[in-house]
Amino acid sequence: MPLGVSIIFSGSGAWQQTGGRPLFAEVGMAEDVNQETPIPEEENGSEFEIPEELRGQVTITTLDKLYNWGRRNSVWPMMFGLACCAIEMICVAASRYDFSRFGMEVMRPSPRQSDLMIVSGTVTKKMIPQIVRLYNQMPEPKYVLAMGACASGGGPFKEGYNVVSGVDKFVPVDVYVPGCPPTPQALLHGLITLQEKIDKQSIQSVRWYSKQASEPIPIPILGPDLIDPRDLPDFAERQAAVEEKAAAEAKT
Amino acid sequence: MYGIGLIKGLGVTLKHFVETYVEDIRWLSRGGRYYDEEALKVRQSTAARGIFTVQYPEEKLPVPEEFRYIPFLIYEVDEDGIKVDRCTSCGICAKVCPPQCIWIVRSNDPETGRPVPAPTDFFIDIDICMNCGLCAEYCPFDAIKMDHDYELASHDRFKDHIFDKERLDHPLSYYAEIRPRNYAEEERARAEKEAAKAARRKSK
Amino acid sequence: MAETESTKVLDEIKTKFGDAVSPDEREGYDGYLVRAENLLDFATFVRDALGYDYLSSVTGVDYIVEDKMEVVYHAYRTSGGPALLFKVQTQREKSVVPSLVSIYPGADFQEREAWDLLGIEFEGHPDLRRILLWDGFHGHPLRKDWREAYFEEDQKPFGNRWPEGKVYRIEDKVPFNKNVKYPANFTPEGWVPEGEGTLYASLGRMEKSNGNGTGSEHIVVNLGPQHPSTHGVFRMVAELDGETIVDLKPVMGYLHRNHEKIGERNTYIMNMPFTDRLDYICSMGNNFAYALSVEKLMDVQPPERAEYLRVIMAELTRVVNHFWAIGFLLNDLGAFFTPALYAINERELILDVFEAVSGSRMMCNYFRFGGLARDLPPGTAEVIRDLAFERLPEKIDELERYLTENEIVRVRGEGVGVLTAEQAIGFAAAGPVLRASGVPYDVRKAEPYSIYDRFDFDVAVRYNGDVYDRYLIRVDEIRQSIRILQQAIQDLPEGEIQTGRPQYQVRVPAGESYGRVENPKGELGFYVISDGSPTPYRYHIRAPSFINVTGMAEMSRGQKIADVVAILGSIDIVLGETDR
pLDDT in tens, B126-158: 888 899 989 998 988 889 999 998 888 888 888
With a cut of 60, say whether residue A18 has pLDDT above it.
no
Judged by a CB distance cut-off of 8 A, whether residue C185 touches chain A is no
Task: Identify the three-state secondary structure at position A69.
Answer: helix
Q: Which segments of C53-119 does DSSP mark as H helices, in order?
A: 107-118
| Beta-carbon separation of A124 and C256 below 8 A | yes
Range in A40-44, B44-48, C164-168 with the lowest mean pLDDT: A40-44
Interface of A with B (CB under 8 A): 95-98, 101, 146, 149, 152-159, 166, 168, 173-180, 182-183, 185-186, 188-190, 192-193, 197
With a cut of 90, say whether residue C312 has pLDDT above it.
yes
Identify whether the C-beta of residue C277 lies closer than 8 Å to the C-beta of residue C363: yes
| Beta-carbon separation of A160 and C148 below 8 A | yes
Q: Do the first three CATH levels of C2-123 and C259-578 match, i.e. the same topology? A: no
Supply the pLDDT for residue A16. Answer: 37
CA dihedral (B10, B12, B15, B19) positive or negative: negative
**C69-72: which pairs have CB atoms within 8 A and are 24 or more residues apart?**
C69/C95, C69/C97, C69/C118, C69/C120, C71/C97, C71/C114, C71/C120, C72/C31, C72/C512, C72/C527
Q: What is the pLDDT of residues A37-62, one digit of tens each?
A: 444 444 444 555 656 665 556 667 78
- Nearest-Cα distance to chain A for B131, in Å, is 6
Q: What is the pLDDT of residues B159-189, one digit of tens each?
A: 788 888 888 888 888 999 998 998 898 889 8
Instruction: Locate the chain B residue with the closest alpha carbon to C387.
Output: B46
The more confident residue out of C256 and A238 is C256
Instruction: Locate the chain A residue with the closest alpha carbon to B71.
Output: A179
**Cβ-proximal residues to C386 (8 Å cutoff; 6+ apart), any chain:** B46
Identify whether the C-beta of residue A116 lies closer than 8 Å to the C-beta of residue A77: yes
- C2-123 under CATH 3.30.460.80, yes or no: yes
Q: Given 3.30.70.3270, 3.40.50.720, 3.20.20.370, 1.10.287.110, which CATH number is that of B71-203?
A: 3.30.70.3270
Band the pLDDT of C476: cuts 50, 70, 90: very high
User: Which residues in chain C have Cβ-Cβ distances shorter than 8 Å to A239?
Assistant: 176, 182
The more confident residue out of C185 and C435 is C435
Among residues A185, C158, C323, C403, which one has the least CA distance to residue B100? C158
Instruction: Locate the chain A residue with the closest alpha carbon to C156.
Output: A159
What number of C-beta contacts closer than 8 Å exist between A and C?
156
β-strands C244-251, C235-241 pairing: antiparallel
| Beta-carbon separation of C232 and A238 below 8 A | no
The more confident residue out of C149 and C577 is C577
So where are chain B's domains?
1-61, 71-203
Band the pLDDT of A22: cuts 50, 70, 90: very low
Mean pLDDT of B91-107: 86
- Nearest-Cα distance to chain B for C256, in Å, is 17
Instruction: Locate the chain B residue with the closest alpha carbon to A98.
Output: B53
So where are chain C's domains?
2-123, 259-578
User: Which residues in chain B have Cβ-Cβ distances shorter than 8 Å to C373?
Assistant: 133, 137
Top residue of A125, A126, A127 to mutate, by most chain C CBs within 10 Å, is: A126
Q: Which CATH class is domain C259-578?
A: mainly alpha
Supply the pLDDT for residue A23. Answer: 37
Q: Does an H or E element contain A226, and which?
A: strand A226-227
| Beta-carbon separation of C149 and A161 below 8 A | yes
With a cut of 50, say whether residue A28 has pLDDT above it.
no
d(C-alpha C470, C-alpha C328), whole Å? 13
Mean pLDDT of C263-284: 90
Which residue in A175, A180, A192 is closest to B130 by CB distance? A180
Burial of C144 (0-12, 13-18, 19+ CB in 10 A): middle
| Beta-carbon separation of B154 and A149 below 8 A | no
Which residue in A96, A153, A179 is closest to B131 by CB distance? A179
With a cut of 70, say whether residue A29 has pLDDT above it.
no
User: Which residues in chain B have Cβ-Cβ distances shorter than 8 Å to A101?
Assistant: 53, 55
Supply the pLDDT for residue B76. Answer: 87
User: Which residues in chain C have Cβ-Cβ distances shorter than 8 Å to A243?
Assistant: none
Task: Identify the three-state secondary structure at position C523.
Answer: strand
ipTM confidence score: 0.91
Q: What is the CA radius of gyration of chain B?
A: 25
With a cut of 50, say whether residue C122 has pLDDT above it.
yes
With a cut of 60, say whether residue B115 has pLDDT above it.
yes
Which residue in C136, C151, C337 is closest to A223 by CB distance? C136
Burial of C255 (0-12, 13-18, 19+ CB in 10 A): buried
User: Which residues in chain C have Cβ-Cβ distances shorter than 8 Å to A95?
Assistant: 341, 344-345
Instruction: Locate the chain A residue with the closest alpha carbon to B147.
Output: A179
What's the DSSP call for residue B52?
Answer: -
Segment 110-139 of chain C within 8 Å of chain A by CB: 132-134, 136-138
Which residue in C161, C164, C355 is closest to B94 by CB distance? C161
With a cut of 90, say whether residue C408 has pLDDT above it.
no
With a cut of 90, say whether residue C478 has pLDDT above it.
yes
Q: What is the pLDDT of residues A85-116, one digit of tens each?
A: 889 998 998 888 888 888 888 888 888 999 99
